Amino acid sequence: MDSILRLGKVSKTYSRKTNGHEQKIYAARRVSFELQTQHIMALVGESGSGKSTIAKLITGVEHADSGVIEFEGKTLSAWRRGHLAEYRRNVQMVFQDPYAALNPLNTVRYTISRPLVNYRKLHGESLHNEIQRLLEVVHLTPVNEFIDKLPFELSGGQLQRVVTARAVASNPKLIVADEPVSMLDVSIRAEILRLIEELRSKQGVTFLYITHDLISARMLADEIVVLYRGTVVETGNARAVAKNPLHPYTQLLLQSIPNPWATEEQPMALGILDRTSDDGGCVFRARCPYAMEVCHQGVPELTNAESDHLVACFLHHDATTQMAVQ
Amino acid sequence: MPLLDIQHLTVTYGNVQAVRDVSVTLETGEILGVVGESGSGKSTLGYAVTKLLRPPGAIQSGRVLFEGTDLVSTLESDLRKKRWTEISVVMQSGMNALNPVATIRRQFEDAIIAHQPTGQSRMKERVAEMLKMVNIDPRYADNYPHELSGGMKQRISIALALVLEPKLIIFDEPTTALDVVVQRFIVQNLKTLRSQYHFSALFISHDLGTVLEIADRVAVMYAGKFVEIQPSGQLLRAPKHPYTQALLQCFPDPRSDQINIVGIPGTPPDLSVVQPGCAFAPRCSQVMTRCLTESLAFVEVAGAGVACHRAGLTEEVKQHG
Amino acid sequence: MTSMLGMLKPFWQNKLSRTGVIILGILVLMAIFAPVIAPYSPNNSSFAAMLGPSASHLLGTTQEGQDVFSELIYGSRQSLVVGFAAGFAATFVGLFIGLVSGYLPGLVDDILSYFINVFLVIPGLPLMIILAAYAPVHGSFLIIFVITVTGWAWGARVLRSQVSSLRSRDYVAAARFAGDSMVRIIFREIMPNMISLVAATFLGAAVSAILGAAGLEFLGLGDPSINSWGTMLYWAENSGALLQGQWAWLFAPGFLIAVLGTSLVLINFAVDGMGNPRLRKKG
Amino acid sequence: GSQGATSTAASGSTPPMVLSVDPGSPLYTDNWNPFSPNAVWGQAWIYETLYYIDAQNGHQTPWLATSYKWNSPTQLTFTIRPGVQWSNGTPFTANDVAFTFNMLNKFPALDTNGVWTVLKSVAAKGNTVVFDFKTPDVPAFTYIAETPIVPESIWSKVKNPVTYTDPHPVGTGAYLEKSYTPQEFVLVKNPHYWQASKVKVQTIDFPVVSENANTVWLNLSEGKYTAANAFAPNIQKIYISKDPKYRHIWFAPSGASNLLMNLTKYPFNNVTFRQAMAYAINRPKVSSKGEYGYEPLASMTGLTLPANNAYLDKSLVAQYNYHYDPAKAAQLLSSMGLKKNSQGLLVGPNGPISFTMIVPTGFSDWIEDAAIIQSNLKALGITVNVQTPSVSTWVSDMQTGTFDMTLNFGLNQYNPYFYYESDLATSNSAPIGQDATSNYERYSNQNVDNLLNEYAQSTSATQQKQIIDQLEQVMLQQVPVIPMFYAANWNEYDNRYYVGWPDASNPYVTPTYALPDVEMEFTHLKPR
Amino acid sequence: MRYLVRRGIMLLLTLWSAITLNFLLPRMMPGNPAEVMLAKFKGKGNMGPQAIHAIKVMLGISNESLFKQYLQYWQEIFHWNFGVSYTYFPFSVTHMIDQALPWTLTLIGVTTVLSFVIGTLLGIWAAWTRGSLLDSVVTSVLTFTSSFPYFWFAMIVVFLLAFVTNVFPNSGGYGSQMSPGFNLSFIASAVYHSILPAVTILVSSLGGWQLQMRNNMISALNEDYVVLARAKGLPERVLAISYAARNAILPNMTGFAMSLGFVVSGAILVELVFSYPGMGTLLYNAVSNEDYPLMQGIFLMIVIGVVMANFVADIVNVALDPRIRRGGGDS
Ligand SMILES: Nc1ncnc2c1ncn2[C@@H]1O[C@H](COP(=O)(O)OP(=O)(O)OP(=O)(O)O)[C@@H](O)[C@H]1O
Ligand SMILES: Nc1ncnc2c1ncn2[C@@H]1O[C@H](COP(=O)(O)OP(=O)(O)OP(=O)(O)O)[C@@H](O)[C@H]1O
Ligand SMILES: [Mg+2]
Ligand SMILES: [Mg+2]
């Protein structure tokens, strides 16, 4: 299998001023993963864990501080040198909030036509036909009922389809979907997720699916990457990660899902802490019920725990030998 | 006598009928969950009960009996005395519900001073107590809302609603804007608080999973109407209305082997037009011809009820069978 | 075209602004059909001076023997044109600088914001008076120029902050992903969403331009040989109109300036609805 | 109300005297230095001059001097009045006079009339003061006679009289400073005045005069002033009609305001064209409508009439007989070979004739005049663009000669020599682009220059009259400028309490309170 | 603190440019004001060249290079010396400003504050009773009066109240026979003289504040935190004032500070109509007499006033708005 996207030790820090003093925020810390062609990879983590940051780095909206991002074997910085338009065409994005991602004053037709005109140089009849085809692809049928509508005339789910159609329009190879369903009603989510699955299988698009919802990740994705405070803490086969999480943080995520079926009340094992210091040690140690001496001393590396399942936790390390010092 | 008895309540925003002839009762100590899709009128119901509708929202008809007195016809000045001491609310987005220019302490003290004035030190104690209750360091009392995280603000909103130990609390999606972990934490927090304070509550949310976990009974709302009310466990096990059934399918058991989320195709109706028949009919997988023409009144019997031709049929069949 | 018409719909739907539109419409019609409405030419100074109101001179005559009513009708042209031209020019400059400054963060923005700040701090009327007093030639263009120079900054500030907030909207990012150029993004994605703010800025600028122009003309810094409401006030004041019992001569032009200003303020009440596609579509 | 001037100073039985004359808007500054252009005008009641010379008719009244004598065209002697004393009790002597003039020499910024451009020395000799001249300049007498005299005992101690504000003035005049506030100063009669018996008005109030004419008109109308120097439109209605029994006006004409044409430019360099202009412009209408009829039509000779009637050569005026006559103007224009084209525009060798007329901003009457001129010339096919630049642009355009046509003030002087000298002398002109002193139209004529020189050296009245006659002829024949109307000396007064005001029938002084001789009025006024 | 320092630097920069502009402006203008001034000093006779030179020196009319003049200009400013006024020579610009400033500061300052306070209160009240008859009457009347040309209204007021009915004085800052001082009768007279101009300014400026506050207040009333406050059963007064109005007033503070800054420039047109001895009249005289040292001096005062007012506004904003005070605010 060939990989289409590879991240190698990508880091990004922001600085923010609070009460006058500057504070560094590690939005991405030496993040590495590889995305296979025509796969769907889910990037999971709580709010502020750096999911959107990684999406921005991949789509070229922001620059990484260090590390490499390779798309089709060519580094992003190479793409940037004169081939940014082509890169953009190949790497598209679906935004979280469909209400915000569409200009309230532009019709569906105009919105979808832009990438077609810009990247595929379509005009007149062929443009119109392609727009129709795309609307069919995203199941906005009958097409003529939707093509000339303004965003306010559509429901959230329909809007998200328009957004998706626009992303697909340029025939991209990779689509980064940043929480595409979190703003939608549960009842509508399934259809959008199914649409993504369909685009992957029928159009051969590769997806990076960003979410904080472990269930949908498990349903949709082939692989899952779990992110905590900018660090990849666990990654592997979707089913394995979601059904049998190894990292205490992933376990926390799973437990958090409301579960009326659960027979007995499971007390929440972990406290919430709003801030941890960023000096050495495991990023999760302050919230971790199993924190050990070693967790304060070094940063655990991602290691193979099972086949296709890596975790960065000392609980699953054989020895401190694999500890990396930052 | 039920604590809260909503009778034939209809609320409009201009020509939008957001709540349509809704009746329900709430017993003392009970938590009634209200679920439904976005725009189904959940918040409107909550605001109407507390008479906090913003213009152009207005109660068209109906009564809201709180301990036997009708709030709809009560004068605002009399109602004011009941507010917060007897009924309090937690708003949909706790983030915006706190006055940005007042400290957290001020916002607690305002309420205390308005209703049960006590000395400074007593007040201070009380604020600290309340914050601790929702696991927030009392030091934060002197902070401003923008200095706190979303989860903290939401918990403070909850603490604020409890400060005068009201009989009834309206929770309007107290967890929606938060991420799963925080959401979870707040739900647990609420459960503990409930056992402490024994308040009754109207718990509004679109997250059926959460509602089922926390509420004693659940009311399912669709297009401004209740379509089904049942005790939580029963609703989970034997949903009667096709909408409830479909909704439940959207919440798979995270531990099951095969996960398949089933959505509800189609979109909710436009509330500015009143159509005959069942509002859910166009999206219903079990639709019958009479569903399109005959509307069905929702009747609550012994704390449960369903508004579906199909449900009626099965009932009949059972009786005959 | 339908969308243009649709954009104007809010002005008619809001009761207050409808009143404003009607008043403005009457004034505009008055300006257009001045030759039909006015009984005499405003330059005709052949009548006796300082006649009181009568059937042949509804509002009396001036010191020079012109018909006040005719001057008033014709004066609407100049006051409307100068007010709107200056309002337009100030808005245009403000919009341009606001757009550039808001869309290009960094050095360009810093420099432009700095200019905006400087011009905000500089007092308008005194600067207007000084500029106008020094100018070699006095006339409408000077007034428009002076009002533009002193009036653009306010709009620029408001529009700039709007642009920089719109710039970070998701749909602008999306347009970039769709391959749109910067110019296209500015004109297709950002500008249309600022229409209501631009309109509010324009209306505000027009009101202050009308009042500013009247003030300058009243001080004699306009071209007093041009017929406008401001110059009418100048001449009325210089002729002691009130003392001579020529009430209408002084009262009418000031009243119409106030009415014109009010109509624009009223129209502004509907501006919020302008950017709303809901109202636009049904037009 | 119109109960007369009751607002201030109604102290005891003395009827009030309130003068609305001194601008100083918005507030007075405490400056009594008689040489300062910004001094309060009240100083003219405190500081006196050697002679008082009426601005209109040139009538001379000996004042601090009893007589003068030209010993030669380069030597002038004044005899000083005996028995005069300064208000601090020290006697006034010839030394004070000599000191005053020598101070002007020492501090040239004070010498705003430029007496030291012609003087050589000034010295006291007993009770006389002798003025020696570098060059003969008989007309300079006026400036010498009208220089305010200050006490040596005080001013010799002043370090810099240029910036000195003289807060407690000591003079020989009829009045003393009684009180000063930025909004009003009050003068009180000087008991030791040398003609104290003639002074009947005990105190004079000078409230600040607003920049805003309407305020003045309101006060005038309400009768808050005993006398005022205010322009007002329709004075009859605003002022007189409110109390016609007591309220009066006398607007004495002063120097003619001229229409200037740039004589270096076509078509103004053509005499026939200028003559045509004199016929084409409806000067009576300019005077009656543009100037509200207050400023009478000026004589084309430029002489200020009737004050200068003695100089006027009536036969010459009859011979040229300028009046409003568009037909005659058209005929003169066609005699130049100018013809109207199909659009009715008058066409010259370089296309249709059109030029710009500039009038300073804010001069509302002149702007009206320009409009009349514009329409007069339009009838002849000539296009005039009227522009209203700022005052400084207007002045600088005139000085440098970068204008086509404009209106300008005339000189308010009894002696026509000054008028002709300033307007016609080549020495007051300059090439285009350089600043001219006063001959802005740039008229230059050797013959005229010679005549002016002769006049300056002549002490003979007949010879002077003869020279003036020749200059009148130049004015009428050459039309270097077109005199339009006489500026008015605005003056309103209320004789309810005081009588003896100067008027057309008894013009013993020109009641413009900025002039030095106005103090004389207060030796004539008596309670009714 | 950081925020204030940054704002402070910005304002200093602004001040610098305004002062420089002030220096350049008269020098860039066409015409030669110095010549016009000279003409004012001329008598009827022709002045000698020494006299002209002496006057030029005394007025500070300079032929030096622009840059040198600029440096001198700065030096003078640091010594609070704006040169001598042409119109009021030998008095200095500073002296003239000293005379006029107190009048303007009191009249325009007090009316600006009053206008803001009353307008804001009316706005709060109108928003509170939104839709009532009184609200619509007050709001539309104020909308109309706020479009009045100040001077026009002033002229009518003067004519009616100071001439026809003679209730108030028609001009001046105090009774002319009074000598300025800190005594009751003088103050009473000054107040009496200031009533008409104050009313004029109030009538034509109230509307702006009222309308703005009404808008802000209406949107504040729709905010979640106000609805929650109502749910809390707080007394109406607390709700209106410390919840809604307290937040609604924030966006108006900057505008208020700006207008306080512009107080220094006086209300030119109103002062003119009332012949009020303030900065506005002084500035108008400076302009019409082309007295540019005076003009520059006044302009400088205004700019300093505005910059200071802006700085004060920043401080007030910091005090009133915790989001700015304690970080988190995006500015
Ligand atoms: N432009 C920025 N400047 C400063 N800090 C930033 C910026 N963008 C993101 N951050 C910070 O970086 C961290 C990661 O942010 P990011 O948006 O990537 O999180 P996320 O996982 O997408 O969260 P969410 O689920 O809320 O979207 C957060 O703490 C955020 O506050
Ligand atoms: N101010 C308003 N003006 C007009 N219509 C309104 C207004 N507020 C709500 N509505 C309409 O009333 C209906 C019910 O709204 P409501 O806010 O009660 O829904 P909800 O169930 O709380 O939805 P959500 O889950 O999004 O909070 C919706 O169709 C909405 O569009
Ligand atoms: Mg994100
Ligand atoms: Mg809601």
Is D210 within 8 Å of D479 (Cβ atoms)?
no
Is E155 within 8 Å of C242 (Cβ atoms)?
yes
How confident is residue B296, by pLDDT bands cut at 50, 70 and 90? confident
* Residues belonging to chain C: 283
State whether residue D106 is helix, strand or coil.
helix
Is A117 within 8 Å of A70 (Cβ atoms)?
no
Pairing of β B57-66 and β B69-70: antiparallel
Structure tokens at D128: 């006389």
E51 vs C: CB within 8 A? no
Q: How many CB atoms lie within 10 A of CB D405?
A: 24
**A172-200 burial by CB neighbour count: b if 16+ within 10 A, else e?**
bbbbbbbbbbebbbbbbbbbbbbbbeebb
Model ipTM?
0.84
* Contact between C261 and E147 using a beta-carbon 8 Å cutoff: yes
Q: How far apart are CA E301 and CA E280, in angstroms?
A: 12
Which residues, 6 or more positions from C35, have their beta carbon under 8 angstroms from its beta carbon?
none
Ligand 1 mean position to A292 CA, how many Å? Answer: 29
Ordered strands of the B225-231 beta sheet: B87-90, B168-172, B200-205, B31-35, B217-222, B225-231, B305-306
Chain B neighbours, 3+ Cβ pairs < 8 A: A, E
D83, pLDDT greater than 60: yes
Q: How far apart are CA C221 and CA C214, in angstroms?
A: 10
Is E151 within 8 Å of E270 (Cβ atoms)?
yes
Beta bridge mates, A306: A309
Which residues form the pocket of ligand 1, taking CB atoms under 6 Å from any ligand atom? A 14, 16, 25, 27, 45, 47-53, 212
Query: What is the mean predicted confidence (pLDDT) over C129-145?
Result: 79
State whether residue A143 is helix, strand or coil.
helix
Provide the pLDDT for residue B299.
77
Name the residue with tokens 């925003």.
Answer: B13
Which residues, 6 or more positions from D41, have their beta carbon under 8 angstroms from its beta carbon?
D21, D22, D206, D513, D514
Alpha helix locations (H) across A95-234?
98-101, 108-120, 124-137, 143-146, 156-169, 186-198, 214-220
Pairing of β D184-189 and β D203-207: antiparallel
* Contact between D217 and C243 using a beta-carbon 8 Å cutoff: yes
Name the residue with tokens 């509004």.
Answer: B204
The percent of residues in chain B predicted with pLDDT above 70, rounded, is: 96
Q: How far apart are CA C226 and CA A319, in angstroms?
A: 94
Alpha-carbon distances of D3 from A22, C69, D224, D242, rounded to whole Å: 78, 37, 8, 10
Q: How far apart are CA A290 and CA C207, in angstroms?
A: 69
- CATH superfamily, domain A3-234, is P-loop containing nucleotide triphosphate hydrolases (3.40.50.300)
How confident is residue C281, by pLDDT bands cut at 50, 70 and 90? low
E328 vs A: CB within 8 A? yes
D27, pLDDT greater than 70: yes
C154, pLDDT greater than 80: yes
User: If you count residue pairs, one on A and one on C, with CB atoms under 8 Å apart, how many are there?
Assistant: 64
Question: Quick check: CB of B36 below 6 Å from ligand 2?
Answer: yes
Which residues, 6 or more positions from A79, have their beta carbon under 8 angstroms from its beta carbon?
A60, A71, A86, A87
State whether residue D387 is helix, strand or coil.
strand
Enclosing H/E stretch for A224? strand A223-228
Judged by its nearest atom, the ligand closest to the C-alpha of residue B53 is 2
Q: How far apart are CA C213 and CA C35, in angstroms?
A: 24
Pairing of β B200-205 and β B168-172: parallel
Q: What is the 3-state secondary structure (H, E, C) of D154-194?
A: HHCCCCCCCCCCCCCCCCCCCEEEEEEECCEEEEEECCCCC
Single-letter code of the amino acid located at A97: D
Least confident window among A271-285, B159-173, B302-316, D285-299: A271-285
Q: How far apart are CA D100 and CA D161, in angstroms?
A: 11
Provide the pLDDT for residue B95.
65
| Domains delineated in chain C | 16-27+68-282 (1.10.3720.10)
Provide the pLDDT for residue B188.
85
* Contact between A118 and C180 using a beta-carbon 8 Å cutoff: yes
**A92-106 burial by CB neighbour count: b if 16+ within 10 A, else e?**
bbbbbbbbbbbbbbb
Structure tokens at E153: 């209204």
DSSP, res D45 = G
Higher pLDDT, A132 or C239: A132
Name the residue with tokens 């993004």.
Answer: C185
Q: How far apart are CA D379 and CA B31, in angstroms?
A: 96
Q: How far apart are CA C74 and CA B273, in angstroms?
A: 52
State whether residue D38 is helix, strand or coil.
coil
Provide the pLDDT for residue C279.
63
| Domains delineated in chain B | 4-86+166-242 (3.40.50.300)
State whether residue B304 is helix, strand or coil.
strand
Is A185 within 8 Å of A179 (Cβ atoms)?
no
Q: How far apart are CA E262 and CA E249, in angstroms?
A: 20
| Domains delineated in chain E | 96-327 (1.10.3720.10)
Chain E closest CA to A229's CA: distance in Å?
21
**Tens-binned pLDDT, residue by residue, of chain E (331 aa):** 667 787 788 888 888 888 888 888 777 766 566 666 677 776 666 777 777 787 777 777 777 788 888 888 888 888 888 888 888 888 889 999 998 898 888 898 899 999 999 999 999 999 999 888 989 899 989 999 999 998 999 999 999 998 888 888 888 887 777 777 778 888 888 889 889 999 999 998 999 999 999 989 998 988 889 999 999 999 988 889 889 999 999 888 888 888 887 777 768 888 888 888 888 888 888 887 778 788 888 888 888 888 888 888 888 888 888 877 765 433 3
* DSSP one-letter string for D250-303: --EEEEEEEEEE-TTSTTTT-HHHHHHHHHHS-HHHIIIIITTTTSPBPPTT--
Structure tokens at B221: 């709302």
Q: Model confidence over C213-243: pLDDT tens digits?
A: 998 888 888 877 788 999 999 989 888 888 8
Enclosing H/E stretch for D490? none
Provide the pLDDT for residue D494.
93
A68, pLDDT greater than 90: yes
Query: What is the mean predicted confidence (pLDDT) over D300-328?
Result: 90
* DSSP one-letter string for B61-126: EEEEEETTEETTTS-HHHHHHHBTTTEEEE-S-HHHHS-TTS-HHHHHHHHHHHHS---HHHHHHH
Identity of the residue in D213, D218, D388 whose CB atom sits nearest the CB atom of C224: D388
Chain D closest CA to C73's CA: distance in Å?
21
Is B38 within 8 Å of A156 (Cβ atoms)?
yes
Omega cis (within 30) before D267:
yes
* Contact between E231 and B100 using a beta-carbon 8 Å cutoff: no
How confident is residue A319, by pLDDT bands cut at 50, 70 and 90? very low
Report the largest interatomic distance among the alpha carbons of chain E, rounded to a whole angstrom. 86
**Helix C107-121 × helix E2-28 angle, to 10°:** 70
Residues of E in contact with C118 (CB under 8 A): 14, 17-18, 21
State whether residue B171 is helix, strand or coil.
strand
Q: How far apart are CA D172 and CA D89, in angstroms?
A: 10
Beta bridge mates, B205: B35
Picking from B159, B166, B229, the residue whose alpha carbon sits closest to that of residue B201 is B166
Q: How far apart are CA D359 and CA D38, in angstroms?
A: 26
How confident is residue D81, by pLDDT bands cut at 50, 70 and 90? very high
Exposed / middle / buried, residue B247 (Cβ in 10 Å: 0-12, 13-18, 19+): buried
Provide the pLDDT for residue D11.
45
Q: How far apart are CA D111 and CA D107, in angstroms?
A: 7
Interface list for chain A against chain B, based on CB atoms closer than 8 Å: 46-47, 155-158, 185-191, 193-194, 212-216, 218-219, 242-243, 252-261, 267-268, 272, 274
Is D29 within 8 Å of D37 (Cβ atoms)?
no
Question: Quick check: CB of B18 below 6 Å from ligand 2?
Answer: yes
Provide the pLDDT for residue B200.
95
D12, pLDDT greater than 70: no
Is B162 within 8 Å of B199 (Cβ atoms)?
yes
Q: Model confidence over A237-274: pLDDT tens digits?
A: 998 998 889 999 998 888 888 877 776 555 555 555 44
Name the residue with tokens 């975790």.
Answer: A311
State whether residue B14 is helix, strand or coil.
coil
Q: Domain boundaries in chain A?
A: 3-234
Provide the pLDDT for residue B94.
63
